[in-house]
Structure 1
Amino acid sequence: MSDQVLILNGENLTVEEVDRVARQGVKIEIALEAMNRLEKARELVFELADKGIPIYGFTVGVGWNKDKEVFDEYFEEYNRNLIYAHCVAVGPEASEEDVRAILLARLNTLLVGRTGIQPAVAYMYKEFLNHGIHPVIPERGSVGQADISCLSHIGLAIMGEGEVFYGGERMDTSKAMEMAGIKPVVLGPKDGLAIVSSSALSAGKAALVLNDIKELIDMANLIYAMSLEGLDGNVTPLDPIVNEIRKMPGQIYCAESIRKYLKGSYLNSKDITKSLQDPLSYRDACAVHGSVRDALEYVRKYLELQLNTSDDNPCVVIEERKIISCQNFEVTTWAVGFEMLAIALSHLSKMSCHRTVKLSNPSFSGLSRFLSPNEGEVQAYQTIQKPFTSLDTEIRHLANPSSMDFFSVAGEIEDHANNTPHVVRRVAKIVDNLYYVLGIELLHAAQAIDLRKPDSLGKATKAVFDEFRNEITFLEKDRCLTIDIKKAYDIIKSGNLLKAAREALA
C-alpha cells in the first residue's frame, strides 16, 4: 500500500483520486468536519423518530413495504434482515480494484451528511480501505436505480459476515477482521438502507473507466502519429490555425498532442505528396479522437458531482430539521453520458481499423501488400484483419444504448431505471477491446516505418518505436501473430509507451 494519505470531506473527490486509492493503495482519513456532519445528521434522525414522524428506512420499511412500521426494539433485527434480503446479486464478482473504488465512492457520499447513518459505519469503510479488506461483491443484479442488490454485500462484511479478500486470500470476513484487529458494527436504525441505497457500484467503477479513457485518448493520438509516419501522410490537418478556426476543444487538444509527438519528424519537412488529401481515417483523426475527449469532459463533470453529493433517499436536511423523500438516487444525466462516450469510442475504433487496413494496401501506403518484407515468401499481416475487425464489431454492439431497457418493479412503485452498472461495464469492455485494436494498428505502423526507413521520426514517436521494438521485433518471417497481438495489448495497457513518449518530450 502507498504511504500517501487522502483526506476525505465529501466535497472534492476527483476521478484521479479514486484511481490512486483503488489502484495504488493510497490510504485515507476522514476530515473532522465531515464526521461532525455525520453525528449531527444522526442526532436529527433520532430526534424526529422520537416525535413519531414516519422515516423511510428507519421507522417504516423500504420499497413496497414503506407502509410497514418498524418498532424500536426491532431496529437491529430489521436492519440486519434488510441487508440479507437485498443480497440477491449474481456474478461475476467485482475485482479488488473495483471494490476499493466502490468503497471510496460510497464513503465520500456518506460524508456529505445526508443519510443519518451512524458514524461507526462510515468509519468501517475507511478501515476496509486502509487495511485492504475487500468485500466480495457480485457485480450484476442492479438496475442502476441505486445499486442495492450489490452493495448489500458490503453490509454483510460490515456486520462481520460473508467473505472478503484480505492479503490476497479469500476468507470469511470474521477471520479477516480478527487478523486486522477490527470489530463488526452492530447496525442500528436506517443503517441498512444507507449502506445499500447508493449508486456507488456504478460510480466507483465509472471513475476508473474514465481515467482509463483519458489515457486511451492520448495513446490513440500517439499511435495515429506513428501510423501517419508509416503512411508518409499529410500533416496539414494538424495545423494549429485550422483547428483553432473550428474551436472544438477536443479537436484542438488532440491536434496539439499529435503535433508534439511528431516534433522532429520527417513529415514536417516534406512537401505534400501522393494525393492532396489522405483518407478520412487519417485526415479526421484529431477531430474524431477529440469527440471522445469532449464526451469524456461532459461525463467527468457529472460523475464528479455524483462522487461529491448525496444520492440518498430520504435526504436528511439538517438546516431545516427535517427528512425529505426525494429522487437524488437518479443518475440518468451521467448514465446517458456514458452511452454517448461508448458511441464516441466506437468511432475511434472504426478510425483505427480503417487506418490499419490502409497501411496494408500498397495503393495508399506505397509499400508492399500486407507490409510483407518479401511478398513472394512472407504473407505477413494478410489474415490479421479478421481479429481487429471482429473486435470492432463487438465494440459497435457494446455501444448500443441500454439505459432505457427496464421493467417496473417493487409493486410497480419503481417504474424507472438506468441500468447504469451494465452501461459502465460495457464501456469498460469497449476500452479493453480498444487496447487490442490500437495494438494491432501499432504493429502495422511500426512495420511500415521499418519498411519505409524515413530519415527521422518524431522525438516522441521514435522513443515509442524503440520501446515497442524491444518487445516485438520486425516481422521478417511469418510467425505466430497471436503472441505479437497479446504483447502489443499488454504494452499498451501497461502505459509504458505513453510514459516513454512523455519522458522524451520532458
Structure 2
Amino acid sequence: MKKVIITGNTLTLEEIVGVCRNYYEVELSDSAVDKVLLSRKIVDDFVENGDVVYGITTGFGKFSDVSISKDESKLLQKNLIVTHAVGAGKPFDTEIVRGIILLRINNLAKGYSGAKLETIQTMIDMLNKKVHPVVPQKGSLGASGDLAPLAHMVLPMIGLGIAEYGGEVMSGEEAMKKAGIPVIELTSKEGLALINGTPVMTAVGALVVYDALNLVKISDIAASLSFEAQNGIVSALDHKIHEVRPHKGQMDTARIMLQLLSESKMTTKQGEIRVQDAYSLRCTPQVHGASKDAINYVKEKVEIEINSVTDNPIIFPETKEGISGGNFHGQPMALSFDFLGIALAELADISERRLERLVNPSLSGLPAFLVEHGGINSGFMIVQYSAASLVSENKILAHPASVDSIPSSANQEDHVSMGTIAARKAKEIMENVRRVLAMEIMCACQGIDLRGNKGLGIGTAPVYDAVRNCVLTLTEDRPLYEDINKCEKLIEDDTLIKVCEEKAGNILF
C-alpha cells in the first residue's frame, strides 16, 4: 500500500487523489510532529496564563467577548462541535470525506493551530482504517470556513454522530470501536481548529480540478473525432494562426488536435470541400484553450490552498502569539470554483453543438440522426435532446455562488463566501460535461462509420477502436442509454486517454 507523508507543506493533487480514491495510507513526518507539539505548548501556555485569545479563552463569533475559564474549556470545545453539526442534504461521497479529513490533517500538521498530536493521529487512524464520518453536503457558508460539515466530520472522533465502516453505516462510537480507534476528549482550541477553514470546499474542488484536467483531454479527442466525421478543415489548426494570438491553451489545443489527426484520411484542407467550417469545429482551439487556461489557473489556486493555514486564530510559536484573522474565509476558492464551473460548462456547450451538426442532415450530409432507414428508426435524435438538457442545466449551475453573501452570527460574520456551494456546483457541472462528451464521442464514431472510415488519425484511431470494442455501430434502434453509459465509463476510468497515449505517445499535453 502506497503511503503519503504529511508535512503540511508538500501535499499534491495527485496525492489527494491517491488517498481519496485509491486508499493510500498517510503518516506524519517527524518535522510535522515537532511543529504540532510546539504549537500545542503555546496554546497550553495561553490557557495557563489566562491570556485573552479568541476561541481559546473566549467564546466564538458573537460570543468572542465572553471569557471562558480553564475549567470550562473542554466543555466549550465539545459544545462547539455538537451545536455546529447541523448540516443538510445527502452525504458526501466517501472519496470527498477522505479528502476532507486529509486536508484537515495537512492543515493542522503545519503547526499553526495548536491541536494535540493525539487528535491529529486519530484522524490519521480514521483514514488508514477507513472510518468515514457521514457528512451532509449542505450547510456551509464558506466562512468561518466549512463549520457545519466539518463538525459532522468530528462527531465520531468524540463518540457521537454516524460513520461508515466496513461497508455499513453505524453510530460513530461503534465505528470507532470496531476499527480499534479510541475516541478522544477535545481540549482548549481543538474544536475550533478542527472545524475552522476550507477543507470541505477544497476537497470537493480539488477532485473536480483533477477530473477537469482529464476532461479537457477528452474534449480534444471528442472534437478530433467530430472533425473526422464531418471532414473538418484542419487548416484552422495551423500553428501560424494561433501563434499570432498566443494564449497557451489555444496554442496547445491546436497542436494536440493536429497530432491526434495526423495521418487521418477523413479530414480536409481549406477549399477542398468548403472554405471554412462552422465555429463549433473551427473555433475549437479558442474555446477549449480558454477553458484549459481557466482550469490551470484554478489548479494553481488549489495547490496553494491545500498547503495553507485556514484556521483562526493562528498560533505563531516563534513569537508566542495567537492572532485573529480571516484565513478561514473561502473567497479565494469560491471565485476559483465558480470559474472552474464556467470553464467546464463551455466544454459541454461546444460539444453539444458539434453533436447537433452530426445528427442534423442539413448540416452534416449524413443520414438524419445518424441512422439508415429513418422514420422507422429514430437513431440518435434524442441523444441530442439529452445533451441539450444537460448543457442548459449547466447554464443554471454556472451562475456564480460567490456573488452572494448572507450575514451570520449576529452580523459579526457579515460577509461569507459560499465557496462550498461553488465547489459542489462545479462537481455537478463536471459530471454533466462528462456525459455530453460521451454522447459526442459515440455520435462521432457513428458518423465516421456512415461516412466510410477511410483511415483515422494516429490519436483518434485507437479511441475509435476502444469505443467499438464495447459499443457496436447502430444499424437499427436499440436502448442507447446503455451505450452512453459504456462510453462514459471509458472516459471515467481514463481508458480513452490511456489507449490514445499508448498508440500515439504523450500528445495530450
TM-score (normalised: structure 1): 0.96
Distance 2:8 2:211 in 1: 24
Aligned length: 504
Identify the match of residue 5 of structure 1 among 3, 15, 28: 3
Deviation at 1:384, TM superposition (A): 2.7
Report Cα offsets for 1:410-453 as digits up to 9, x if no partner. Answer: 01101111111111111100111112211111121011100111
CA drift of 1:378 comes to 3.2
What letter matches 2:401 in structure 1? S
Structure 2 equivalent of residue 309 of structure 1: 308
Counterpart of 1:14? 12
Q: Compare 346-355 and 46-55 and name the one that shifted more.
A: 46-55
Report the Cα offset of residue 271 of structure 1. 6.4
Identify the residue that residue 236 of structure 1 maps to in structure 2: 235
Partners of 1:99 and 1:84 lie apart in 2 by: 19
1:127 to 125, 128, 145: 125
1:44 — aligned with what?
A: 42
Asked if 2 retains the 8 angstrom alpha-carbon contact of 1:48 and 1:322, the reply is: no
The answer for the alignment partner of 2:184 in structure 1 is 185
Q: What do the CA deviations read for 1:111-168 (whole angstroms, capped 9, x no partner)?
A: 1111111111111111111111111111110011100111011221111222111121
Distance 2:171 2:309 in 1: 31
| Matching residue of 1:246 | 245
Secondary structure, aligned partner of 2:274: coil
The offset of 1:483, in angstroms, is 2.7
Corresponding position of 2:95:
97
The residue identity in structure 2 corresponding to 1:320 is T
2:80 counterpart SS class: helix
Q: Which residue of 1 aligns with 2:382?
A: 383
**Equivalent residue for 1:285?**
284
- My pick for the range that moved more, 488-497 or 453-462, is 488-497
What CA distance in whole angstroms lies between the structure 1 residues aligned with 2:206 and 2:340?
13
Give the superposition deviation at 1:268.
6.1
5+ residue gaps, structure 1, are: none
| Matched AA of 2:22 | Q
- 1:30-429 alignment, distance < 5 Å: 30-145=28-143, 146-267=145-266, 272-375=271-374, 377-429=376-428
Residue 234 of structure 1: how far off its partner (Å): 0.6
Distance 1:178 1:375 in 2: 63
Write the distance in 2 (CA, Å) between the matches of 1:361 and 1:57. 63
Tell me by how many angstroms 1:243 deviates: 2.0
Kept in 1, the 8 Å contact 2:334–2:401? The answer is no
Q: Distance in 2 between matches of 1:321 and 1:62?
A: 21
**Distance (Å, rounded) in 2 between the aligned partners of 1:52 and 1:487:** 63
| AA matched with 2:97 | V
Aligned partners of 1:87 and 1:150 also within 8 Å: yes
What letter matches 1:233 in structure 2? G
Q: Please tell me whether the aligned partners of residues 342 and 398 of structure 2 are also in contact (alpha carbons under 8 angstroms).
A: yes
Deviation at 1:16, TM superposition (A): 1.7
> 1:379, 1:428 → 2: CA distance?
32
**Structure 1 runs, 4 residues or longer, greater than 4 Å off:** 267-272
Q: Secondary structure at the match of 1:91?
A: strand
Quick one: which of 25, 37, 54 aligns to 2:23? 25
Which segment is superposed worse, 421-430 or 345-354? Answer: 345-354
* Deviates most, 489-498 or 4-13: 489-498
Aligned residue identity for 1:461? T
2: CA distance, partners of 1:95 / 1:324: 35
* Alpha-carbon distance between aligned partners in 2 of 1:176 and 1:330, rounded to the nearest angstrom: 32
Distance 1:152 1:213 in 2: 29
- Indicate the SS of the match to 1:319: coil
Note the C-alpha offset of 1:244: 2.5
Q: How far apart are the structure 2 equivalents of 1:121 and 1:326?
A: 24
Q: Aligned in 2, Cα 1:206/1:261: closer, same or farther, shift over 3 Å?
A: same
- Structure 1 residue 220: Cα displacement: 0.8
Label 1:374 to 1:325 Cα distance change in 2 as closer, same or farther (>3 A): same
SS at structure 2 position matched to 1:16: helix
8 Å contact kept, 2:156–2:176: no
Q: Displacement, 1:173?
A: 2.3
Q: Distance in 2 between matches of 1:252 and 1:106?
A: 38
- 1:272 deviation in Å? 4.2
Tell me the CA shift for residue 355 of structure 1: 0.6
Residue 382 of structure 2 aligns to a residue in which SS?
coil
Contact kept in structure 2, 1:231 and 1:364, CA below 8 Å: no
CA distance in 2, matches of 1:358, 1:375: 17
Residue 498 (structure 1) aligns with: 497
Secondary structure of 2:372's aligned partner? coil
Gaps of 5+ in 2: none
Provide the secondary structure at the position in 2 that maps to 1:473: coil
Is 287-296 or 269-278 further displaced after alignment? Answer: 269-278
Which deviations, in whole Å up to 9, do the C-alpha atoms of 1:239-291 show, x marking residues without a partner? Answer: 22322232111112222222222222114676643221100000111221111
Q: How far off its partner does 1:349 sit?
A: 1.6
Q: Secondary structure at the match of 1:165?
A: strand
Counterpart Cα distance in 2 of 1:271 and 1:285: 16
Moved more, 331-340 or 139-148: 331-340
Verify the 8 A CA contact 2:151 2:195 in the aligned structure 1: yes
Q: Which moved more, 1:374-383 or 1:28-37?
A: 374-383
Kindly indicate whether the alpha-carbon contact (under 8 Å) linking 1:163 and 1:171 is maintained by their aligned counterparts in 2: yes
- Structure 2 counterpart of 1:472, one-letter code: V
TM-score (norm 2): 0.96
Q: Deviations over 1:370-418 (max 9, x none)?
A: 2222346533223332211111100111001121222111011011111
| Matched position secondary structure for 1:316 | strand
